[in-house]
């Protein structure tokens, strides 16, 4: 009984594993990356509830966070936090960003070789990370504005042209935040055909093991 309580306590309050199911966060997170999420980072929730018991910090722009999908809270999503409550986010084309009048600059990375895609370093002014776009011209250069309501957040995927994110499902309430992604502890190209959630040991991505999530 005690070991079960310890495991439950760790998953409830400290850290919890998740598996990346889609390519919306390429190149920073790949399908079948197994990650650890620091649930204690933002605060502490009432067990089996979305209510915050204690809160010691707010999430920061640029963090990659796990949250409950607003349209079905039983499903977990992972995206990069773009807009905080009260922010005004402008998305130009397929994902070039301006937040509160400050443009997040994009610097192309020609060293990334990937047919059909281009990679850029995106600079928020406080943090840098890599994002991916389709190599062809943007479908539109129009700008869409998002005014983030109080108590809610705006998220986008790093794989900008292939991500269903805040541009589709809207804003995420504070109560649905889980925590920031911390570490890739396991990664594989494919899972076992007999057990779909277990990595095929012959296809481990060894270079990704124990990489921090950025």
| Residues with active-site annotation | 24, 79
Rounded CA-CA distance 48/118 in Å is 42
Residue 160: partners with Cβ closer than 8 Å, 6 or more residues away: 94, 95, 131, 132, 133
Rounded CA-CA distance 46/66 in Å is 18
Question: Three-state SS for 16?
Answer: strand
> Strand 76-83 to strand 64-68: parallel, antiparallel, or no bridges (unpaired)?
antiparallel
Cβ-count burial 4-20 (b if 16+ within 10 Å, e if not):
eeeeeeeeeeeebebeb
């Amino acid at each position: 009984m005690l070991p079960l309580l310890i495991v439950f306590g760790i998953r409830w309050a400290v850290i919890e594993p998740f598996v990346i199911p889609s390519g919306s966060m390429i190149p920073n997170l790949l399908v079948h990356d197994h990650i650890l999420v620091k649930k204690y980072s933002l605060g502490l929730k009432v067990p089996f509830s979305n209510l915050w018991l204690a809160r010691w910090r707010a999430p920061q722009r640029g963090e990659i966070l796990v949250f409950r999908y607003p349209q079905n809270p039983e499903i977990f999503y992972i995206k990069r936090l773009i807009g905080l409550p009260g922010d005004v986010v402008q998305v130009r084309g397929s994902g070039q960003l301006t937040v509160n009048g400050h443009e997040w600059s994009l610097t192309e990375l020609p060293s990334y070789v990937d047919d059909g895609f281009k990679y850029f370093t995106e600079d928020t002014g406080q943090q840098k990370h890599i994002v991916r776009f389709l190599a062809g011209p943007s479908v539109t250069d129009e700008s869409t504005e998002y005014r983030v309501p109080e108590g809610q957040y705006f998220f986008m995927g790093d794989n900008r042209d292939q991500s269903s994110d805040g541009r589709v499902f809207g804003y995420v309430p504070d109560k649905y935040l889980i925590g920031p992604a911390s570490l890739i502890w396991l990664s594989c190209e494919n899972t076992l055909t007999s057990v779909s959630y277990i990595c095929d040991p012959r296809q481990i991505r060894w270079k990704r093991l124990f990489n921090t999530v950025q």
